[in-house]
Structure 1
Amino acid sequence: MAETLSKDTKAGKIEGSYDPKFKPVVDAFIENCETRDEVGANVAITLEGKTVVDIWGGRKARDGAAWEKDTVSIVFSCTKGATALCAHMLADRGLLDLDAKVGAYWPEYAKNGKEETLVSMMLDHSAGQPHVRTKLKDGAYYDYDYMVKVLADEEPFWKPGIRNGYHGVTFAWTVGELVHRASGKRLGRFFADEVAKPLGLDFTIGTPEATEPRIAAMIFAEPDPAAANSKFTQALLTDTSSAAHLFLMNSGNTDFNSRECHAAEIGSANGITNGRGLAGMYAPLANGGGKLVGPDTLARMGRVAMATHEDATLLIPSRFALGYMKSMDNRKEPNAPNSSCIMSDAAFGHVGMGGSIGFADPECRMSFGYNMNRMGAGILLNTRGQALVDAAYTALGYRSNASGVWAM
């Protein structure tokens, strides 16, 4: 029997329901609201396809209206999980060969040192296009065709396939255009028709204006003094040719809280949903693939495809499946706070800038989603999101994450 929740906290009122087994998640959510400066958020968990946690609350702004059940927000790079799913669905249908050259689908791309790029390299961040050197025009991210052409014309930062570096924004068009070429539909439409609508998800890539009143604006993170000496921060500040600098500074003055950005189709960064939508998207993938993908495709989706001791963009150790993050334990890396995302070894999903996360765990048949409006500093999860993930695994009887993954 599910328990209902209605509680006033420092952040505001929180509501929802949960299986009593998952009370540790509820306690962590309350703690986030009371002591970790949560403003507004939603966490949702499914187990064997059944919702076992759905809690929301706080405020849509620090002094704003209440965060309602249907409040949504940008989930930044959690969007990559949706984009990758579209690519894997096409692969499962035989319409996109992950081992083929990109030029087989997108001939205009196969030039300037990119001729040997494989589709799989687009997904595992080894394609050599973590960003672009071309100075982007104002509003570039809102212009899909412009960004596709810029990427096709660029030279790679390294020979494709020899290393990986997080394609933080360019993933929207490297993978997104492959979805377009293979399916005949632009990414946002394919995702809506083939994933969001069939699963009943409140999740859009290219959001209609009617949704705008429900969107909680992002409260951007304040600089973290503890990260001032990180390799990423130093590259950002001192090396204008680095992927780290270009990734964040050459953005065409994108305003992620603007209507123009919400309406655009940025398949790496501007998906709009909530924890419920993220958990709902991953639920079939935690339970054999459902009607989305078959078992062989699902097995490939969750397998480590690329790992390194120093990601060329993030400048921390990283581990990726094809389009998804795997558990990353950087807790002992010097000068790298909030640079971990610790799940089980079987889990795969994606963190979003500021600390949102969605993932599937086929081992325990759990899916997880968390979104919020107050962004945390750092590259991956901050204390709020990791506390919720930790509580979920604790509730399921997992013993420890000392090994770098949650283990029984």
Structure 2
Amino acid sequence: MNTTSSFAGHTPQGYVAPGFERVADVFGSTLHDQYSGAALAVRVDGHIVIDLWGGVADKRDGRVWEASTPSTIFSCTKGLVSILAAHLVSEGRLDYDAQVTTYWPEFGVAGKEHTLIRHLLSHRAGLSAPRRDLTFEDVINWETMVRVLQEQEPIWTPGAGWGYHALTHGWLNGEVIRRITGVNVGDYFQEVLAKPLGAEAWIGLPADHIGTPAHLQVLIPENEPTVVPSPTVGGPVSDQFTDQQWMDRAMTLGGALSGLVSSDKPDFNDPRIQMAQIPGGGGIATARALASIWSSTVVETDGLRLLNDDVIAAATTVQSEGPAVFSSEIPPHPRWGVGFMLNSERRTFLTPKSFGHDGAGGQVGFADPINRVGFGYITNRMELTDDHRAPKLIDALKKVIG
């Protein structure tokens, strides 16, 4: 059925299969104002059951959100890279337990000689941020970023603890993929996932798509949350910067970026960043593309089943949870498998077996093997704290399916 219900001044458009109207109602309620938009897509058993969008894609000119409107998905991109890594494991071309130097010999310097592939994927590599300040030109140059991380001494002993590799995760794992496949991670993503599924998703936006992504805007809360210290584990952590400074550098790369969206430094609305291959946070996709991609990991979707059950079991074994190496990391803490974000108090998915990844400002993509679900939600209204939109959508879906 087509939905025409109006909520909060917007009229969501698209398709809702019978029985999923409750989820459509919740989606409509998440469209908070006249300046922003969002999209939601869900597949069950490979079939589309929800494909909705609504609101404004760009408040500057009033451009409406359409069925094909993509948006920056931030760290959801890490989930896509983790799918590619798992696919290489299924083909026998990558071993989670191998040393990184097996595929990337130059990496084995400055205390990183025994770093494992699973350390890179599960935020345990000790390379969450650069030790030296980088420039914008550095960040959009693949070779420069790889060389910086290749030469850097770890901030903590690899494997000894976890710390969120907000952006470096993408270059580290993307370079391993490049070494194995011989092509850049964005090109490999197109070859293996996007093109076979007809999915509008990119790691490195093509020049002819510039201007199509939704324009991002940040909702800044009136009162910032109080930081609750957590115990330090896995150290020692370098004393070059404080814990909070290390965490800030993970987002800004030493001042090269604003972090998310800003007016004084290049940010993720910048076409140069959108076109660069930044697989730790620069992916761009539609909600239906995310739903299709995640669906294809657990059930045949449009002719593609990418991962088998054994690889999923290996990739979703818990690697990182609990307190991080940085005491400024605020609980509750997330949980990761080998690259994939897992169900946790921090990010609740559909079932304990779900796996995927969220992204800054509310983006979420995941798969659930129990219910054979692929889920994608994107928005350009970035709520940085107390964001209940995706959790409400997932809870509504859980009630419909359960």
Taking structure 2 as the reference length, the TM-score comes to 0.89
1:266 aligns with 2:271: no
Q: 2:242 aligns with which of 239, 243, 259?
A: 239
CA distance in 2, matches of 1:319, 1:252: 28
Given that residues 7 and 29 in structure 2 are in contact (C-alpha distance below 8 angstroms), is that contact kept between their aligned partners in structure 1?
no
CA distance in 2, matches of 1:342, 1:183: 32
Quote how far apart the aligned CAs of 1:111 are.
0.7
For 2:148, the equivalent position in structure 1 comes to: 150
Q: What residue identity is the alignment partner of 1:386? A: P
Please give the per-residue CA displacement for 1:59-106, whole angstroms capped at 9, x wherever unaligned. 112361110111011000000111111111111111112111001111
Task: Count matched residues.
Answer: 378
Q: What residue identity is the alignment partner of 1:105? A: Y
Relative to structure 1, the CA distance from residue 21 to residue 40 in structure 2 (aligned partners, 3 Å threshold; closer, same or farther) is same
CA distance in 2, matches of 1:314, 1:292: 34
Please give the per-residue CA displacement for 1:347-393, whole angstroms capped at 9, x wherever unaligned. 00000011100000001111110001010113xx8211111111111
Quote how far apart the aligned CAs of 1:31 are.
1.1
**Which segment drifts farther, 74-83 or 60-69?**
60-69
Q: 1:117 aligns with which of 91, 96, 115?
A: 115
Given that residues 203 and 278 in structure 2 are in contact (C-alpha distance below 8 angstroms), is that contact kept between their aligned partners in structure 1?
yes
For 2:366, the equivalent position in structure 1 comes to: 359
1:320 aligns with 2:336: yes
The residue correspondences of 1:1-400 to structure 2 (distance < 5 A) are 3-33=1-31, 35=32, 39-62=36-59, 64-223=62-221, 225-231=223-229, 239=242, 242-249=245-252, 250-253=254-257, 254-287=266-299, 290-310=304-324, 312=326, 314-316=329-331, 317-330=333-346, 340-378=347-385, 382-397=387-402
Quote how far apart the aligned CAs of 1:223 are.
4.0
Q: Give ranges in structure 1 of 5+ residues lacking alignment.
A: 233-237, 331-339, 398-408
**Which segment drifts farther, 364-373 or 289-298?**
289-298
Quote how far apart the aligned CAs of 1:205 are.
0.5
Q: What residue identity is the alignment partner of 1:361? A: D
Aligned-residue identity in percent? 31
**Which segment drifts farther, 40-49 or 209-218?**
209-218
Please give the per-residue CA displacement for 1:211-256, whole angstroms capped at 9, x wherever unaligned. 1232111112314514144559xxxxx9377421211332513421
Quote how far apart the aligned CAs of 1:45 are.
0.4
CA distance in 1, matches of 2:400, 2:97: 39
Given that residues 40 and 373 in structure 1 are in contact (C-alpha distance below 8 angstroms), is that contact kept between their aligned partners in structure 2?
yes
CA distance in 1, matches of 2:7, 2:121: 41
Q: What residue identity is the alignment partner of 1:394? A: K
Q: Give ranges in structure 2 of 5+ residues lacking alignment.
A: 231-240, 258-265
Q: What residue identity is the alignment partner of 1:309? A: P
CA distance in 2, matches of 1:248, 1:152: 19
Given that residues 35 and 56 in structure 2 are in contact (C-alpha distance below 8 angstroms), is that contact kept between their aligned partners in structure 1?
no
For 2:238, the equivalent position in structure 1 comes to: none
Relative to structure 1, the CA distance from residue 307 to residue 145 in structure 2 (aligned partners, 3 Å threshold; closer, same or farther) is same
CA distance in 2, matches of 1:241, 1:358: 28
Given that residues 310 and 318 in structure 1 are in contact (C-alpha distance below 8 angstroms), is that contact kept between their aligned partners in structure 2?
no
Relative to structure 1, the CA distance from residue 239 to residue 343 in structure 2 (aligned partners, 3 Å threshold; closer, same or farther) is farther
Given that residues 122 and 337 in structure 2 are in contact (C-alpha distance below 8 angstroms), is that contact kept between their aligned partners in structure 1?
yes
Given that residues 309 and 318 in structure 1 are in contact (C-alpha distance below 8 angstroms), is that contact kept between their aligned partners in structure 2?
no
Given that residues 197 and 293 in structure 2 are in contact (C-alpha distance below 8 angstroms), is that contact kept between their aligned partners in structure 1?
yes
**Which segment drifts farther, 278-287 or 42-51?**
278-287
Q: What residue identity is the alignment partner of 2:283? A: G
**Which segment drifts farther, 11-20 or 382-391?**
11-20
Quote how far apart the aligned CAs of 1:342 are.
4.3
Given that residues 362 and 383 in structure 2 are in contact (C-alpha distance below 8 angstroms), is that contact kept between their aligned partners in structure 1?
yes
